[in-house]
A and B are shown apart, each in its own frame.
Chain A
């Protein structure tokens, strides 16, 4: 499994991350593009991908639309 964690600081191939008050040092060797403030998907000590916030917003917008349609009917 992988969980989204927020990058607090970057130090070469490693980053300090935080989720729900828990801090963990993780490898960003697979996501060299990750920067402070990004959310990355953390799997067994490694960031395997950077969460795309714009896509997340798009998905939520679509979901809100679906939910509002179901309320009307």
Chain B
């Protein structure tokens, strides 16, 4: 398929791997923020293609994984309200909250439906006027405009029974939070490709400037990721960190202004609760007052028990890049894709799921 197959070419990958090996002298640590990158890196054996001087860590870029237990508990409680239909993206349904999951709620009689798009959620509201239809709005800057569009569509078509629980999160502020914590020392960041299609390259500029950390925006095929690593290694070796785009067929420096305008019309910036990280100011999107009739937080009230994390689960550490899935005692023994304990094993973008699916202990440790 065009724009995919070319970037999976073995000869091109080998050429880049060769150049990275030639260039790399310093021992460095890179973090890929996006769960899509984590999966591609494991799936295509990128860790085996780069020299041992280059360590790769996964970051908080899996939308399902970073959703806090307390927010999941709220989604589950909303699903149990009478005449409510909860709609959500596929991965969310199996993620365990503190006491239950949306899947379990469904088994207990709640109406929980998986949708491919926010367009489908609005459609469900339209054909079920007697129900309140709540969309669980997870995701990053890539998904936010699609959620904004659903609210604008509901307003335009006068669909009064459509609501959004806004759990949307923002990438640069959480990068800042991780860098400020200093827990994991990083030399470079593989910046998310499809978040950057929307936000462009400018919002990362504070990272090389204030933290001296290299930033390169990457596509999702193996050759894209190797090109990104090549550019990161080059910047770090030269001691000249900056923001570069290694995915110019998808990302423009200015991003997609039209999509951002929609997001900014519907949402304002507020705090967000991240699993493993906690509440980070200015890292989330809240529905603006002028659209509050669509805000599930305003329209419904649920009482929640204090949230808790699954015992022994290290998803929080994995999300921060402070631990790899291999360092979790539950990994592969108790926690598997069939019987996941934490969200990083449930989601198709989760680091634990990627390690489980594609890794052996030997190749993951680089042996």
CA separation between A8 and B227, bound complex, in Å? 31
* A60 with B6: CB separation less than 8 A: yes
Among A19, A69, A70, the one with the most B-chain Cβ atoms within 10 Å of its Cβ is A70
Is the CB of A10 closer than 8 A to any CB of chain B?
no
Q: Which of B162-170, B171-179, B254-262 contacts A (4 or more CB under 8 A)?
A: B254-262
| Residue interface mask A45-71, B partner, CB < 8 A = 1 | 110110111011011100110111111
- Report the interface size class on chain A: 35 or more
Is the CB of A12 closer than 8 A to any CB of chain B?
no
Is the CB of B248 closer than 8 A to any CB of chain A?
yes
Is the CB of B194 closer than 8 A to any CB of chain A?
yes
CA separation between A49 and B11, bound complex, in Å? 28
Which residues from chain A contact B258 at a C-beta distance below 8 Å?
29-32
Is the CB of B142 closer than 8 A to any CB of chain A?
yes
> Residue B1 contacts which of A19, A30, A66, A73 (CB distance < 8 angstroms)?
A19
Q: Which of B104-112, B113-121, B288-296, B331-339 contacts A (4 or more CB under 8 A)?
A: B113-121
What's the tally of chain B residues with a CB closer than 8 Å to chain A?
Answer: 42
| Residue interface mask A7-34, B partner, CB < 8 A = 1 | 0000000000001100000010111100
Which residues from chain A contact B299 at a C-beta distance below 8 Å?
none
* B197 with A63: CB separation less than 8 A: no
Secondary structure at chain A's binding surface: helix, strand, loop or mixed? mixed
Is the CB of B249 closer than 8 A to any CB of chain A?
yes
> Residue B250 contacts which of A41, A64, A68 (CB distance < 8 angstroms)?
A41
How many pairs, one residue from A and one from B, have CB atoms within 8 Å of each other in the complex? 112
Q: Which of B14-22, B45-53, B279-287, B315-323 contacts A (4 or more CB under 8 A)?
A: B14-22
* A4 with B2: CB separation less than 8 A: yes
Which residues from chain A contact B15 at a C-beta distance below 8 Å?
63, 66-71
Which residues from chain B contact A39 at a C-beta distance below 8 Å?
2-3
CA separation between A68 and B16, bound complex, in Å? 10
CA separation between A12 and B216, bound complex, in Å? 35
Which residues from chain A contact B2 at a C-beta distance below 8 Å?
4, 6, 39
Is the CB of A36 closer than 8 A to any CB of chain B?
no
Residue on B nearest A24 in the bound complex, by CB: B116
CA separation between A70 and B143, bound complex, in Å? 39
CA separation between A71 and B258, bound complex, in Å? 44
CA separation between A6 and B197, bound complex, in Å? 17
CB within 8 Å for A27 and B119 given contacts A41-B197, A55-B248, A67-B12: yes
Which residues from chain B contact A46 at a C-beta distance below 8 Å?
117, 145-146, 149
Which residues from chain B contact A2 at a C-beta distance below 8 Å?
142, 194, 197
Which residues from chain B contact A4 at a C-beta distance below 8 Å?
1-4
* A59 with B16: CB separation less than 8 A: no
CB within 8 Å for A45 and B146 given contacts A1-B194, A51-B250, A59-B227: yes
Could you list which residues of chain B lie within 8 angstroms of chain A, going by C-beta atoms? 1-4, 6, 9, 11-12, 14-16, 18-19, 36, 89, 116-120, 142-143, 145-146, 149, 194, 197-198, 220, 223, 227, 230, 248-252, 256, 258-259, 262, 349
Q: List 18 A-B contacts (CB under 8 A).
A: A1-B349, A4-B1, A31-B258, A43-B146, A43-B194, A45-B117, A49-B251, A49-B256, A51-B250, A52-B250, A59-B249, A60-B12, A63-B223, A66-B12, A67-B12, A68-B15, A69-B15, A70-B14
Top-6 shortest CB links A-B: A45-B117, A67-B15, A70-B18, A56-B249, A55-B248, A30-B259
